Amino acid sequence: MHRKKFKRGDLVVYRKLKRSSSPGPRAKAIFPSAHGEQYSYQVDKFWVVIDSDPAGQVQLRTRRGKQHTVAAVDENLRLAHWWERLLYRGRFPTLELEKVTPAA
C-alpha cells in the first residue's frame, strides 16, 4: 500500500462520514436510511497538518483548535487542491509557528 507524504503546514481535506436527521448545506452524497428517519452523508473538513510520524500517523488541527490523528493511508484524507486553498482559505486553520526564545 502506498503511503502519502504529509509535512507540517500542509493544508488537507478530510471527507468525514456523518449521520443525522437533517443534513446541513455542505453535505454531499446524501443517502436515506432504510426507514427514512436518518440520513448518512459526507462533509469535507478543511484541516492543517501539525505533525507526521514515520509510523504513518498524521496529526491534524481544526479551525477551532481540536486535534485528530489519522492514518496517512486513509482514503478520506488528501492534500487540498490549489483552487480549494484559494476558494476555501477562510475555512482552513492557520498554523502558528512556535516562538523560539533565545537562551539568556
Q: How far apart are CA 75 and CA 2, in angstroms?
A: 11
Domain for residue 81, yes or no? Answer: yes
Position 38 in a domain: yes
Residue 96 lies in a domain: no
Inside any domain, residue 24 = yes
Which pTM was predicted?
0.81
On whether the CB atoms of residues 46 and 91 are closer than 8 A, the answer is yes
Give the count of alpha carbons within 13 A of 18, CB side only. Answer: 15
Band (34; pLDDT cuts 50, 70, 90)? confident
Which segment of 16-20, 30-34, 93-97 scores lowest on mean pLDDT? 93-97
Examine residue 6 and state whether it is found in any structural domain, yes or no.
no
CB contact at 8 A, 68 and 47: yes
* 57 in a structural domain: yes
Range of the domain at 30: 11-87
Residue 65 pLDDT level (bands cut at 50, 70, 90): very high
Query: Is 1's pLDDT higher than 80?
Result: no
**Confidence band for 76, pLDDT divided at 50, 70 and 90:** very high
Q: Does residue 102 sit within a domain?
A: no
> What is the rounded average pLDDT of the residues 36-58?
93
Q: Is residue 28, in this structure, part of any structural domain at all?
A: yes
> How many domains is the chain built from?
1
